[in-house]
Amino acid sequence: MRFSAWWVGLSLLASTWVHADEQAVQQLNQALMHIDDAKAHFTQHIIDTRGVRGREFSGTMQVKRPGYFRWDTQQPYAQTIVADGHKVWVYDPDLNQVLIEAMDKQVGNTPALLLSSNTQQLAKNFEVTSEPVPAGEASFLLKPKSSDAMFEAMRIKFAQGVITEMQLKDSMGQKTRIQFTEVHYHQALDTHVFQFKIPQGADVVQQ
C-alpha cells in the first residue's frame, strides 16, 4: 500500500467534532484527488434490516481520474462495470446482457463511481460532513440532496491518506459495506483498461 504525505493534515480531524460542510467538502476533494490511477481489491456485503449479513462479493477496482472506472466482481459470480467518463457499461456474463447508461445517472446506483467522478460536483449533489476519528484517519458522511437518489447516506473512510472503506444505507434500511485492501495509487493505468467491447450476441439495453 502506498501512502500520500497529505494524510498528516487529515489527522487534525481526530480531536474535533463534525466540520462545517464547506471545509468537509474541501477535505474530501483533497482525499479523492489523490486516487489517481489506483488499483485495489474489494470485498462487499449487505446487512439487512434484521442485522443479518448477506453473501460476500469480491473482486478488483481500477480508477483513473477523471472519469475512468472499472469494477470487476469475480466471486461468487462475475459482473463488470466500466466507465469512460461519459457512459457506463454494466455487463452480466451469466445473462449475456449489457446495460448502457450515462455516467451521471449510474453514480446513484454505483456509488463507487464517485471515486472517479468530478470532485467539483460533490457540493452540488451531496451534503458532506466530516466525522471525529483517531489520528491518521478520516471519515466523511455524504447525504444526497436529490430525493431520487438510490441511497440515503454514504460514508467514505481513509487511513493515512488511502481509501479503506465505503458504507451505504439505502431507503429500505439495508446497509452495504465495501472494504478496500491492497490499495495502490499512481499506477499509470492505460485508458484501454476502461474501454468496453460488447460481446458478440449480447443483449444490449440502453437507458
Q: Confidence band (pLDDT; 50, 70, 90) for 150?
A: confident
Quote the cell numbers at residue 100: 448502457
31: buried, middle or exposed (CB in 10 Å: 19+, 13-18, 0-12)?
buried
Evaluate if residue 203 carries a pLDDT over 60: yes
Query: For 7-188, CATH number?
Result: 2.50.20.10
How far apart are alpha carbons 35 and 19 in whole angstroms?
22
Q: What is the share, in percent, of the chain residues with pLDDT greater than 70?
A: 87
Dihedral angle of Cα 112, 118, 124, 130, to the nearest 10 degrees? 60
Q: What percent of the chain has pLDDT over 90?
A: 55
Weakest-pLDDT range from 20-29, 56-65, 78-87, 149-158: 20-29
**What's the order of all strands across the beta sheet hosting 151-159?**
126-131, 137-144, 151-159, 162-170, 175-184, 38-47, 57-64, 68-75, 79-84, 87-92, 97-102, 203-206
Q: Is 149's pLDDT higher than 80?
A: no
What is the Cα–Cα distance from 37 to 33, expressed in whole angstroms?
10
Read off φ and ψ for residue 11, nearest 5 degrees: -65, -20
Contact 80, 72 (CB under 8 A): yes
- Predicted confidence at residue 125, as pLDDT, reads 81
Q: Which cell is 82 given? A: 466500466
Question: Residue 71 contacts by C-beta under 8 Å, 6 or more apart in sequence?
Answer: 42, 59, 60, 61, 80, 81, 82, 110, 112
Strands 79-84 and 68-75: antiparallel
pLDDT band per the 50, 70, 90 thresholds, residue 109:
low
- Domain segments of the chain as ranges: 7-188
Going by pLDDT thresholds of 50, 70 and 90, the confidence category of residue 191 is very high
State mean pLDDT over 77-95. Answer: 92
pLDDT in tens, 18-59: 444 788 888 898 888 888 899 999 999 999 989 999 999 999
Pick the residue with more confidence: 118 or 186?
186
Are the C-beta atoms of residues 180 and 159 closer than 8 Å to each other?
no
Average pLDDT, the chain: 84
Average pLDDT over residues 177-201: 94
pTM above 0.85, yes or no: no
In this structure, the strands spanning 137-144 and 68-75 are: unpaired
